[in-house]
Amino acid sequence: DEVTYNAHIIVRFELEKMLVNNEIRVDDLPELWSELYEKYLGIRPSTYSEGVLQDIHWSGGMIGYFPTYSIGTLLSAQIKYAIEKELGKTIDEIALENNLGLIREWLREKIHKWGSTYPPSVLLQKAMGEELNPEYFLKYIESKYLKLPEQFL
């Protein structure tokens, strides 16, 4: 789920760093996975398939890949708020108006047309006027899960 997924990624990243630095052996992974999962998420997997073997990344040689998912999550929240600020409407309002072309055009103009012209940090600065900022993700999660819509109050 989008609330706890980044904690899952932190578990993977910490274990990957230890593996790459020869601080642990592959045989240590199941127990260390369970310990870190319990530490960060309060869950202790009961099987390897619920824990260390729950996806194919490591078995496919994709070490160090998971943090890119967190970066994407942070970026998407920041882009969401930048679009809403510039267009003066929420993404939901734009969708309800069946006007997703507004979002597409914003993305084309601010992000897509530049391709790989700029490094991500420069592109963020140009598109949104600031560097990657995790506060937008926290704001998104809080608004979605911690605040009831006005009609429910």
Average pLDDT for 47-67: 88
Mark which of 32, 65, 98 sits at the end of a domain: 65
Residues 120-141 pLDDT 10s: 999 999 999 999 999 999 999 9
Residues 48 and 115 in one domain: no
Residues 43 and 84 in one domain: no
Residues 16-32 pLDDT 10s: 999 999 999 999 999 99
Q: Is residue 153 part of a domain?
A: no
Task: Write down the pTM of the prediction.
Answer: 0.83
Residue 153 pLDDT > 60, yes or no? no
pLDDT at 56: 87
For the chain, the domain total comes to 2
Domain that holds residue 23: 5-65
Q: Is residue 75 part of a domain?
A: yes
Transcribe 5-41 into DSSP letters.
HHHHHHHHHHHHHHHHTTSS-GGGHHHHHHHHHHHHH
